Every structure is written in C-alpha cells, then in structure tokens.
C-alpha cells in the first residue's frame, strides 16, 4: 500500500475546509492531520505533524514569502494553493535530486532537464 | 426526501457539495448546473428540485430566484467566493436561506435541510440584521399611517430623491442634472416637505421603502 498522504489545512475559509476534510476522509491513503488559522500556526502544525502536503488559500497564484520559507525548510513538502475564487489550484514543490559521481555530461543533462526538454541525469538517486 | 440542485460556476463547489450533500439523510438526489441556462433546464426537468443552492456569483442569480419560485423550488443562496452584503436584497427576493462566506459546511447543510422543511435557519448576525430592518420598516409604516394621504412625488422629485439616496449634496445634484444649486435646493425642500421628514437620510429611507427600484441609468447616476 502506498504511503499515507498527511495533509495540513491552512487558512482556508470554513466551507472550503469542511469540503476538503470530507473528501479526504473518504479517500483511502489520505488523512488530514492538522489545521491552522494563520501563518504562525501553520508553521507550528507543519513542524509538529510533518505533513506531506499543505492545502492553503493563496492570492494571485503566488505563495507568500513565509510559506516559501517553510517550503525550503521541509524536504518533500508540497503546498497546494487554492485561488481566492476557488476555481483553480497551484502546486508548489521544491524538488531536490542528488547526482552522485558527477560527470560533465550529467551536469549538462541536469541543465537540460531543468528546461523540461533534456534527458534525465544518468546517476539520479532517490529524492532526498 | 428532497432533490437538490446546486448552481455554481465553480466546479469545486458543484462537485464537492454534490458529493457531500448526496450522502446526507433526507437527500434523494443531487444535480448541478454551472450557469443560469443549465439551471433553468434542470428546474423544468424531472425530478423537479425541491431546493436550489445558488452561488451568488452566478450571472443572473437574481432572476434565477424568481424562476426557481415559479418551478416550486426553495432557494438557498451562498456567498462562498467572498463577502456579499446584500442579505436584505436576497431576502426581499424571497430566498429561503442565506449562507455567508464564513459559514461552515455543517451550517450550509443545516440551512439547506431547514429550507426543505420550510424553515429558515438564521445565524445570530443574520437575525440581528433582519430584526433591525424589520424594526426600521415598522417605524416607517407607523409614520406613513399617521401621515394620512399617500405621498406623491413628481418624476423630477423622484429623480432627485434617488440622487439624495445616492448621497449627493445640493451642489452635486445641481451638477448632475445641469440645474442651478438654488433650484436643486428648492426641489429637495419640496421633497422633505411632502414626505413630512426633516433629514435627507429619512427621504432616502422613504425611497427605499416606497419607490420602484431605479433602472440602470438611475443606478449609474447614483454612483457618480
């Protein structure tokens, strides 16, 4: 069975939060482990519950600076930002892939992969 | 058992609320429409919806309230996308329930279920707003009874009363209508005398209670 998706909800309007909770409660492999009403509470909840994803409401599809800091701090954490009109969402993920025994072509491959049109680095290890 | 129609341009709400509400006891079925045209089609189809849960952001939402009433459905409006301060306007249109942007999912479900039973579930804030409005209306009815003969304003006076209600000063009214300030002042004086009130705010209250809604042109004038 796949690992459990552990979700923290942050600063969502009550109705949106209620629907997300119900949907995830009915989804095997996912669980809401915490909720916070402000950025400070969200930081505490993330450190306490170590979620795999945080669902927040965002302005203009951008992640606020304080949440960007959390994204950098916690490896593997995904932020899912729901727009204010609730019609779309943006997923923010900071991915760290390590290349062992780096060769020149590996570096070139990594550069090309960053643009999405090159081969994957040859010695990619699991994300860290 | 009720049949529910959810009308919202936001897919997350259409599908999310359908999923949640369809699982509630007392809900026989749930359909969804993304705009007024789809909603009208579903209002005329079988099974007829008993309750319509209508997002206030849907274009033609106000017209849909009347359409739903003709189809025998009760309407609960939800202001989910942000603040909507038009509670009284929705109530005057005849809605059976109102869910503000801060309502919880449970409150929304209870409001829909209450509407199906012909009851109105009110938050304390909503109740306070409605009671204040009712109290104001009662005061105006008393004043009107004591005043005796019905008030008749000329079309020009009605136009000026709307500008007063829009917050314009005598100078602003004069500029708006291209007349002298003294003429505007005379009109305002006559309006206050006819309405037997002393203040411009009371004239605005009278207008809201008695006069027909301004058309689009008047609305434009009032916001200048």
Indicate yes or no: CB of B102 within 8 angstroms of CB of A13: yes
The rounded distance, in Å, linking the Cα atoms of A42 and A47 is 9
The rounded distance, in Å, linking the Cα atoms of B76 and B155 is 37
B5 has a pLDDT exceeding 80: yes
Q: For residue B89, what is the enclosing H or E element?
A: helix B87-93
CA distance A82 to chain B (A): 10
Tokens of B3: 């049949």
Indicate yes or no: CB of A87 within 8 angstroms of CB of B12: yes
Give tens-digit pLDDT for A23-32.
Answer: 999 999 999 9
Give tens-digit pLDDT for B196-214.
Answer: 777 787 787 777 777 655 5
A46 has a pLDDT exceeding 90: yes
**DSSP characters over B121-166:** ---HHHHHHHHHHHHHHHHHHHHHHHH-SPP---HHHHHHHHHHHT
Give tens-digit pLDDT for B210-222.
Answer: 765 554 334 433 3
Contact with chain B for residue A114, Cβ under 8 A: no
- B217 phi and psi, to 5 degrees? -65, -45
Give tens-digit pLDDT for B139-154.
Answer: 777 766 666 566 778 8
Out of B10, B20, B82, whose CB is closest to A22? Answer: B20
Contact with chain B for residue A14, Cβ under 8 A: yes
Indicate yes or no: CB of B80 within 8 angstroms of CB of A13: yes
* Coil, helix or strand at residue B171: helix
A1 has a pLDDT exceeding 70: no
Out of B11, B78, B105, whose CB is closest to A22? Answer: B105
């Amino acid at each position: 069975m796949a690992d459990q998706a552990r979700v923290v909800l942050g600063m969502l309007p009550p109705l949106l939060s209620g629907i997300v909770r119900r949907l995830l409660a009915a989804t095997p492999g996912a669980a809401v482990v915490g909720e916070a009403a402000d950025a400070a509470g969200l930081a505490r909840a993330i450190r306490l519950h170590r979620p795999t994803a945080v669902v927040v409401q965002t302005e203009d599809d951008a992640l606020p600076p304080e949440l960007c800091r959390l994204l950098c701090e916690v490896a593997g954490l995904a932020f899912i930002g729901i727009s204010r009109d609730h019609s779309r969402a943006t997923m923010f993920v900071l991915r760290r892939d390590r290349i062992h025994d780096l060769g020149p072509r590996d570096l070139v491959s990594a550069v090309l992969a960053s643009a999405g049109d090159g081969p994957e680095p040859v010695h990619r290890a699991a994300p860290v | 058992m009720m049949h529910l129609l959810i009308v919202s341009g936001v897919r997350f709400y259409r599908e999310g609320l359908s999923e949640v509400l369809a699982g509630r006891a007392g809900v026989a079925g749930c359909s969804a429409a993304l705009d007024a045209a789809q909603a009208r089609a579903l209002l005329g189809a079988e099974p007829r919806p008993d309750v319509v849960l209508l997002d206030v952001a849907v274009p033609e939402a106000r017209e849909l309230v009347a359409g739903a009433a003709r189809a025998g459905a009760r309407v609960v409006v939800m202001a989910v996308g942000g603040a909507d301060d038009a509670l009284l306007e929705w109530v005057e249109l005849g809605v059976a329930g109102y869910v503000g942007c801060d309502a919880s999912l449970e409150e929304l479900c209870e409001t829909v279920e209450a509407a199906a039973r012909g009851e109105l579930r009110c938050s304390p804030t909503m109740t306070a707003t409605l009671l204040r409005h009712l109290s104001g209306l009662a005061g105006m009815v008393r004043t009107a009874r004591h005043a005796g003969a019905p008030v008749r304003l000329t079309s020009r006076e009605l136009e000026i009363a709307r500008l007063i209600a829009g917050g314009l000063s005598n100078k602003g009214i004069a500029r708006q209508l291209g007349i002298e300030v003294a003429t505007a002042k005379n009109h305002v004086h006559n309006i206050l005398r006819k309405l037997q009130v002393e203040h411009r705010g009371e004239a605005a209250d009278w207008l809201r209670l008695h006069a027909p809604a301004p058309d689009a042109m008047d609305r434009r004038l009032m916001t200048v």
